[in-house]
Amino acid sequence: MVPHIRRVWHSMSVEQTLAALHVALPEGLSEKEAQERLESFGPNTVVPKPSETIWHVLWEALTEPMILLLIAVGMLYTFWGEVWETVMVFGIIGILIGVEVFNDWRTRKAMASLRELAQPSAVARRAGRVVEVPVSCLVPGDVVLLVAGRRVPADVRLVETVALAVDESVLTGESLPVEKDAEVTLSEITPLAERRNMAYAGTLVVQGRGLGIVVATGLETEWGRIAHQMAELVPEKTPLQQTMGQLAYWTVWAALILTAFTAVWAYLRQLVNAREAVLSGLALAFFTIPEELPIIVTMVLAFGGWRLARQRAIVRRLQAVETLGAVSLIAVDKTGTITENRMTVVAVLPERHERRCLELAVLCSESLPVEVHAQDNAHATEPAWLGDPTEAALVKRALQLGVAPKAWQRLWLPRREFPFDPLRKRMSAVWQQNERVLVAVKGAPESVLACCRWELQHLESESLLAPIAPTDTWHKTESSSSLIQASVVPLTEERSNYWQQLANQLASEGHRVLALAERWMHHVPTDAAEAEQDLILVGLIALADPPRAEVPAVLQQCRAAGIRVVLITGDHAGTARRIALEVGFAPDTPLLTGAELDRLDDAALQAQLRQPVIIARATPQHKLRLVQLAKSLVECVAVTGDGMNDAPALRAAHVGIAMGQRGSDVAREAADLILADDHFATLVHAIREGRLLFANFSKSVRYYLACKLGLVGTCLFGVLTGVGIPFHPLQVIVLELFVDLGASLALVAEPAEGDLMQRPPRDPRQPFLNRQVLSDLFAAAATLFVVVTLGYLSVSGILQTWGHIAFQRDLIAASSFIAWLLGHVGLAWAMRTDRFSLRQQGWLSNQMMLLWALLTLGFLVLVALIPPLSQAFLRHSLTWLHWAILFFMALGMCVVFRLTRRLWTHP
C-alpha cells in the first residue's frame, strides 16, 4: 500500500515515481489494488458534501417559518382548545410535515441521481486493459490517458507526452497554454506554473496527448486545497424560480394584510371573540400565504430533470428544464446526432495504396479501444473507442489489415503533433527513427491537396513505413536499400483537379472523404506550416456514417411542432446535402458553406435562418455566429456540440446540448443538457417533456393561487357582510392540507394532452402570469367563491332570515367546509386540461389526481358517518338534503367554469 505522504513529484524521475507508487507500465494497477487504495485514500472528489439523511430534511421542514406558525396555532389550541382539538391539530401538522418531507426528500434524491449520472469519467490502464472509470474512482498510482478536450482528472506526473499543451489558467492565472515534457526532471523549488512534467486536476488539455501517473487525488490535489478554502457556490435561480419568488414575496404581504384585516374586523364587529379571532387570523395567514410556491417550482424542475434522465437526457442546469419547451430553433450537428456515429471505411482510392493510407491515418489518430469500468469489478463490457468516431473507424480498419500501432511504437518516437484545426481542416503528426523523420497528414481533400507537391503513383513494398522520396535526397545520406520501390511524380494542376473531383463525387454519395499525405525530412519541423508543405499525396479514404432510422420521423415532429432545424457539419457540401435528403430535408433546402457564410452580412444570414438551412464546411466560429444571430431574431435556440471549440456556442445558446458518448469534457461542462446516447430523437423527447412540464406547472400554479384567492375572497365577503369568517380555524388548517396535495402533486402528474407537439413553441418573452393565465386564475377563484358563498347561504337559510345570522354560526362553518372541499376537487378536475375534453384526455388517465380526489371524498364520507370526526370538523349536523345541495352546487359551478373556459384561448 502507498503511504499517505506528500512528495515533490516534479523533482522525481519517471522511474522514481513508478517505484514510489508501486506501479508498473504499461499494465497499471490491478483492480484489487485500485479498490484497496480507494478505501485508503477515499474518492477523488473535491470538498465532499456530507451525505444528507431524511432527518436533515425533517429538521429543515420543522424550522420553516410557516410550519412554526402552524405549530404556534397548535400551542394556542393546547391552552384555549379542547384536548381532542389539540390532538387533531397536531395530527394534521404531522401529516403536513410528512408530505413536505416526503416531497423534499424525493426531490433531493432525484437531483442526487442526476449528479451521479452526470459524473465525469477518465481513461486509465488497469491490469493491462484500457478502461473508462468514474473520476471519483481514480487513486494514486493509476495510469491515466490525457487527450485534447478533456479535463485532467487528478494531479499526475507525466510519463509520456506528444505535443501536449495544457490550459492551466484556472490554477495559475497563466492565459497561454503550457507545453508539457515528461522527460524533464525539475528542481524541488520550481514554481507551480513552471512544472512542465506535471499536469494538475481541473486543468484542460488543449492539444496533443499524454500519459501520466496519478500522484494526488481529492483534497490532496492543488485544486482541492484551493477549493477547500472557497465557500460553496449557491446555484443561480432559474427565471421561473425568480418569478415565483417575486410573486410569493408580494402575495405574502397581501395575504398578511388581508388576513389581519379580516380577523380584526370580525372581532371589532363582535362576530367572533378574541380567542377565535387570533386563531382564525393565524390559520388564515397560514392558508393564504403561498409558502409552498417556491418549493413547488424546485420540486417540479427537479422531477422534470429526473424524467428527462429517464429519456437519456441528463440535466446539468435546472434552467434547461423550463427553457426546453420554448425551443423554436435547433442547430444540430450531423455526425453522431443525425447519423449513427458508426463510421466505417467503404473505399480507399487507389486500392493499391490502402495499407499505406491506413498506416498514415493511424499515425494521425488519437483513438484507441477502451472498456467501461464496472463498479463491482465484474468483467468488462464490449470495448468502446476513445476519440473521434472517424479516427476509430480508420484504426479498426487498419487493425483488420494487420496494421497495429504497437508495431512502430517500438521503433518510432512521436516528436510533434499539430492537431486538427477547423481553419486548416487537417492535422499532422511527426515521428522519428534515428535520422529519419516522417510527417503524416490527413484532412479535408481540398485542404491537403493545397499542400501537396507530389503524388505517389506506384508502391510495391509492404514494408512498414519505409521512406519514399520524390528526389534523390535520401540517396545522399542512406543506402538505396532503405528506400522502397515507389514511383513519385509531380502533382500537376490537372491531377489535383482529378483528385478533387473524385472527392466531390464520393462526398455527393454521402461519404465523408479524407485525403492522406506524407513527407520525409531530416529534422523535426518547428511548426505546422513547415511540416505541411511539399507533401506527397498517397490517396483518399471514403467513410460512411448512415443516418439514424428514426430521424426522418423526428424531423417531421419538429416541423409539426413549429421547430426549425439547422443542420451544421464540417463535412463536404455534397455529403451534407445527401444526408439531409435521406433524413427528410426538402430538396430545395438552402445549403451554405462556411466560405459563403463569411461573405454574408448579419441581415442576410438572419433572413436565411428564418427557414431550415444546411451549413457545410462550418467551423465552431460559424456555429457561434449562427446562434447569436438566431437569438437576435427572438428565437429560443438549442444547439448541439461535442468538441471543446463548440463550448462558446453551447454557452451562448438558450439550451446548450452536449453529446454524452463522444463529447469532450469542455463541451459537457459548457452545456445545460447532456444526451447520454447522442440521439437526435432524445433531444426531441426532451423538448416534449419540457413542454409538458411547463404546461402542467402552469395548471398547478393557477389552481394553487386560485384556491388562495378564493378563500381570501370568501372570508373577506363574510366579514364585510356581517356573516363572519365562514370557517373554524381547524377547518382552515385541514383545507391547507388538501390544497397542498392537490397543487403540488396531482396536476403536475397530468399526462400530455394529445396535441402537445402539434402546437408552436411558447413565446419565451411572454410573462408567466399573462392575461390568459390571470383570467383563468380569477375565474377559478370566482368559482370557488361562488360555490362556498352560495352553498352556506342556501343551506343556512340566511337568504330568508338574514337577521338571525348569529344563530347559524356552526351551520355556516359546516356547510362552507363541505362546499369548499367539494368545490376545489371539482375545480382541480375542471383545470386538468386546457384544450381537450376530459373524455378525450381520459377520465382515469391521471392516477395521482384520482387518488387525491378519492382521499378527499373519502375523508368527507368519514366526517359525515363518524360522530367524533363530525363533531371535530363540522360542529353541526347536516341533513342529506344539505349534502345534496352542496354537492350539486359544487358540481354545477365547476361545469359552468369548464364551459366558460372555452370562450377564451388558454396558454
- Residue numbers annotated as active site: 333
CB contact at 8 A, 729 and 73:
yes
The sign of the torsion formed by the CA atoms of 252, 254, 255, 256 equals positive
d(CA 350, CA 305): 51
Three-state SS for 287-345 is HHCCCCHHHHHHHHHHHHHHHHHHCCEEECCCHHHHHHHHCCEEEEEHHHHHECCCCEE
Q: Kindly give, in sequence order, each residue whose CB lies less than 8 Å from that of residue 734, ignoring residues fewer than 6 positions away.
A: 92, 817, 873
DSSP 378-394: ----S-EEES-HHHHHH
C-alpha cell belonging to residue 524? 523535426
d(CA 642, CA 335): 10
DSSP 674-719: EETT--HHHHHHHHHHHHHHHHHHHHHHHHHHHHHHHHHHHHHHHH
The sign of the torsion formed by the CA atoms of 711, 714, 718, 720 equals positive
CA dihedral 402, 404, 409, 411 (to 10 degrees): 0
Radius of gyration of the chain from its Cα atoms, rounded to whole angstroms: 35
Q: Kindly give, in sequence order, each residue whose CB lies less than 8 Å from that of residue 309, ignoring residues fewer than 6 positions away.
A: 113, 114, 117, 315
Q: What are the start-end ranges of the H helices in 401-513?
A: 405-409, 445-449, 493-508
Tell me which DSSP letter residue 547 carries: B
The sign of the torsion formed by the CA atoms of 503, 506, 507, 513 equals negative
Q: Residue 512: what are its φ and ψ, rounded to 5°? A: -95, 130
Question: Which residues, in sequence order, are bridge partners of residue 315?
Answer: 673
CB contact at 8 A, 66 and 289:
yes
d(CA 641, CA 337): 9
CB contact at 8 A, 66 and 252:
no
The sign of the torsion formed by the CA atoms of 35, 41, 44, 50 equals positive
Q: Where on the phi/psi map is residue 584: left (φ > 0), alpha (ψ -120 to 50), or beta?
A: left
Q: What are the start-end ranges of the H helices in 125-238?
A: 169-172, 222-228
CA dihedral 231, 235, 236, 237 (to 10 degrees): -140
